[in-house]
Chain A
Amino acid sequence: MGKQLNLKLKVWRQDNADDPGRFEEYDANGIDTDMSFLEMLDVVNEGLIEEGKEPIAFDSDCREGICGTCSMVINGAPHGGQQGTTACQLHMRHFNDGMTITIEPWRATAFPVHRDLVVDRTSFDRIQQAGGFISVRTGSVPDANATPVPKEDADLAMDAAQCIGCGACVAACKNASAMLFVAAKVSHLSLMPQGQPERDRRALAMVQQMDDEGFGNCTVTGSCEAACPKEISLDFIARLNRDYGCALVKKGEV
């Protein structure tokens, strides 16, 4: 058992996408410092149900920092601002007794709120559907070792591929830009030899879809990198810009 905390929560409540929404305040008393942040919310929710009130809706699934489902802004920082940590792995020992904690959903035009802290991130899926793949049919592939991949490239591709698609980069960005997400996806595949045939069309299609979804533009302030729970590097945005630029030139559009 850890120490006990008494906290005040200011939580965004919104019944559905059309509701203007409001902050509501709750007491969270007797919170064990060994709890995760989401377990603290579980405890508050159990109390709300017992009082006959509706619990705070929030997304979570794996609760071990890999599925990318949890998504909340805690005291102004996506996932709470602990370096390389998702909200589900954030623990209460990082908070002090008597604190007021403000909890909000991701805020972006392209992520409309479903309810309370739950947002709609299907725009990310649509960006992937526009080109975030290598077109291979099941079965029609060569032996896995037929194409050697330099270890450095594979490792760098893996750095990009760590993205869990949570959307913290969008929530952190003053323009609600999805550039870090798209950059991670494009870079992962463009660093692999298997991804070369579709490299240009992939970059063009994914950026086009990103723009169509209503994400903002990138002004390279780097708040996305700071907020990313997988610490995806801003360098990948440079890589995306290069891929995108080259693709435009080859297409004769520049």
Chain B
Amino acid sequence: MNLDAHIPSGPMAQKWDKHRFDLKLVNPANKRKYEVIVVGSGLAGASAAASLAELGYNVHCFCYQDSPRRAHSIAAQGGINAAKNYQNDGDSVYRLFYDTVKGGDYRSREANVYRLAQVSANIIDQCAAQGVPFAREYGGLLANRSFGGAQVSRTFYARGQTGQQLLLGAYSALSRQIGLGKVTMHTRSEMLDVVLVDGHAKGIVVRDMVTGEISRHSAHAVVLATGGYGNVFYLSTNAMGCNVTATHRAHKRGAAFANPCYTQIHPTCIPVSGDHQSKLTLMSESLRNDGRVWVPKSQEVANQIRKGELKASDVADVDRDYFLERKYPSFGNLVPRDVASRNAKEACDDGRGVVPSGLGVYLDFADSINRMGEGAVRERYGNLFDMYEKITGSNAYQNPMTIYPAVHYTMGGLWVDYNLMSNVPGLYVIGEANFSDHGANRLGASALMQGLADGYFVLPYTIGQYLAEVGPDDRPSADSSEFAGVEEEVRGRIDRMLSIKGRRTPTSFHRELGQIMWEKCGMARDAAGLEEAIQKIPALREEFWSNLNVPGENGSLNQSLELAGRVADFLEFGELMCRDALQRAESCGGHFRTEHQTEEGEARRDDENFSFVGAWEYKGEGNAPELHKEDLQYEEVKMTQRSYK
């Protein structure tokens, strides 16, 4: 497998400029002879589809939602980073680059990250010009806030809904191109497979989620912007529809899947309230600025709290364990996401959780309310406290919040080179769906940045190289045998799911898979647990294919069938994640192997043996996938052990 990243030569700061000059161009008059498929309409997909159409390409954009405006980028709360240095506080492209590489625990590709930092400033310009109502100061200039993992204020935001506002910006650009006829939008359309012709990605097979019609679409190139795979855990902060199908299907057609074990767990989510739980809700990380995290020192007291015999306020200060402040005196409650999450888990594993399920810790604002007054706390966090009360029915001004970590983002994704092309020629992967920029851990406010960087400012340049090389005639007919073959496989899979008529619902399989993944491949992993999961998942998969119950038929809107297809792919993909977590016998970023920790219980990296991207090749049904390695070379940044003591 060829894993040449095609990183341009020359000094880091000049690579992208040089590369843009070296890239082949498509003549403006020829651009209209090309068709490009973009799957997904979130920040990456919508910005790419709009920008490609502006250049003159004919774009076909697909999304499973009823409108491109609803993609899950919309749910991002906090903000978007950019190296604007508007605060004059010492920020620069180099500092954003450095922070991102360090935050990723030295497992990302330097050249890609440097480019990301370079184009970050253009993103803010672009969004402001689209009318995105960013927060502003009284002088009319843009406001910034600080965010985890950085010592400068470089985060731009729009109240608590930066994601929605940026997505509406990209969606407005996309809508303009749809109106002009340059983008054909296919909503409620789920991509079920990618079609390769002579080894090149030349189209997709799609199911219309209203009529059930299966259709073939051919193009000169295919762009996947289909987001992350956090729903493999069943419960996550992802939307209900988020899935791995597009990237997993591409993987099965030959695209390498890189670092699937890198998942990010967010520490401040509302705990699970029961078996009925369908998703987890994130509470902004900013709450840790003024809230103190604690559990009782004694298991007995915790047990009484769980039974409802004691309240938080009944526990005296000396009987409380403010474990983050105790273990990390200099960072306290503001340690990075992975550290905060792991420590909450440890406290709960020790029998000191404070919610009925045992899986929750307190986030207490009593001291802040005493110090600043309730009004000041309300001003800062009022909307979050309201949301908390809406969901839990509990008033966090009077009682401490309860929080627990939840799966939030996936750093792994399809392997791509510097041009964001996978190892399958003509198949591009952008946004959360690719692996390249966040290493083993993503910093807050960097997901929005990466999605828009890829879609607005990277892909529109780099895809031209491939299109110019293959020429406008290289678009096979959708009637070709390759397309017919893939369609037949897609139909076969659907028919099979509908014909089993077993006893278990798609959701019950999804929930069981999620439990395995969360217990064995979640916040803390070890070899024995991962090996157990690798045994259990195939058995569950087997049961899925013999005992699944999907009611209804293909020829109509059938949400059970949609879910079953996604769960089928998660059941294959989950095993790959566990294999990747097992091979990576080190701890780094969001990947914590309990066998590999320092004496203080911190993640211990093994740079000598694991400073590589783990890219998996699919080897066919029933065969173990093969691991390929892309070595990571650090020219600019010196690798060090992170410390937050």
Residues of A within 8 A of B (CB): 1-2, 15-16, 32-36, 38-40, 42-43, 46, 48-50, 52-55, 57, 59-69, 85, 89, 91, 93, 114-115, 118, 120-122, 124-125, 128-139, 141-145, 147-151, 154-155, 157-158, 161-162, 164-165, 188-189, 192, 194-195
Contacts and interface: CB of A to CB of B under 8 A. Distances in A.
Interface in B75-131: 75, 84, 86, 122, 124-131
A42 B131 contact: no
A165 B551 contact: no
Given A16-B556, A138-B50, A188-B131, A66 B175 contact: no
Nearest to A192: B131
A93 B126 CA distance: 44
A60 B159 contact: no
B131 A194 contact: yes
A91 B178 contact: no
B125 A141 contact: yes
A62 B74 CA distance: 9
B75 A132 contact: no
B65 interface: yes
B161 interface: yes
A42 B50 contact: no
A149 B140 contact: yes
A54 B552 contact: yes
Contacts of A43: 276
A85 B387 CA distance: 10
Interface string B507-540: 1100000000000000000000000000000000
> Which of A39, A40, A150, A189 has most chain B Cβ within 10 Å?
A39
Contact of A144 (B142, B168, B171): B142
B457 A138 contact: yes
B136 A188 contact: no
A65 B54 CA distance: 32
Contacts of A149: 136, 140
Interface stretch (B277-285, B343-351, B484-492): B277-285
> Which of B54, B66, B86, B185 has most chain A Cβ within 10 Å?
B66
Interface in B274-326: 274, 276-279, 281-282
B226 interface: no
Nearest to A92: B276
Given A55-B560, A188-B133, 10 more contacts: A42-B507, A59-B66, A63-B279, A67-B75, A68-B70, A89-B390, A121-B66, A128-B175, A145-B142, A165-B69
Nearest to A124: B67
A136 B126 contact: yes
Contact of B136 (A85, A121, A154, A162): A154
Given A115-B557, A132-B175, A141-B125, A189 B164 contact: no
B274 A91 contact: no
Contacts of B137: 151
A10 B274 CA distance: 25
A89 B86 CA distance: 37
Interface in B249-279: 273-274, 276-279
B128 A147 contact: yes
A93 B165 contact: no
A189 B131 contact: yes
Nearest to B281: A64
A246 B35 CA distance: 41
Closest 4 CB pairs of A and B: A148-B140, A133-B172, A141-B129, A144-B128
Given A85-B390, A138-B456, A162-B161, A114 B551 contact: no
Contacts of A165: 67, 69-70
Contacts of B587: none
B178 A69 contact: no
A69 B64 CA distance: 12
Nearest to A166: B70
A59 B187 CA distance: 14
B140 A151 contact: yes
Contacts of B552: 54
A201 to B, nearest CB: 12
A63 B278 contact: yes
B391 A89 contact: yes
Contacts of A135: 176
Contacts of A38: 278
B29 interface: no
Contact of A61 (B128, B172, B241): B241
B604 to A, nearest CB: 36
A65 B405 CA distance: 20
B381 to A, nearest CB: 17
B274 A60 contact: no
Interface string B207-246: 0001000000000000000000000000001011100000
B509 to A, nearest CB: 12
B205 interface: no
A32 B134 CA distance: 40
Contacts of B239: 61-63, 67
B390 A49 contact: no
Contacts of B457: 138-139
Nearest to B126: A141
A233 to B, nearest CB: 15
A162 B161 CA distance: 8
Contacts of A63: 239-240, 278-279, 281
B559 interface: yes
B173 interface: yes
A57 B274 CA distance: 23
Contacts of A129: 175-176, 178-179
Contacts of A195: 131
16 contacts: A32-B273, A46-B508, A49-B505, A54-B551, A67-B75, A128-B171, A129-B179, A130-B179, A136-B126, A136-B130, A144-B134, A147-B128, A154-B134, A154-B135, A161-B168, A188-B133
A144 B484 CA distance: 49
Given A63-B240, A134-B172, A151-B138, A114 B51 contact: no
A55 B278 contact: no
A43 B507 CA distance: 10
A171 B498 CA distance: 35
A134 B507 contact: no
B579 to A, nearest CB: 30
A137 B273 contact: no
Contacts of A120: 66
A114 B130 CA distance: 33
A93 B387 CA distance: 15
B172 A132 contact: yes
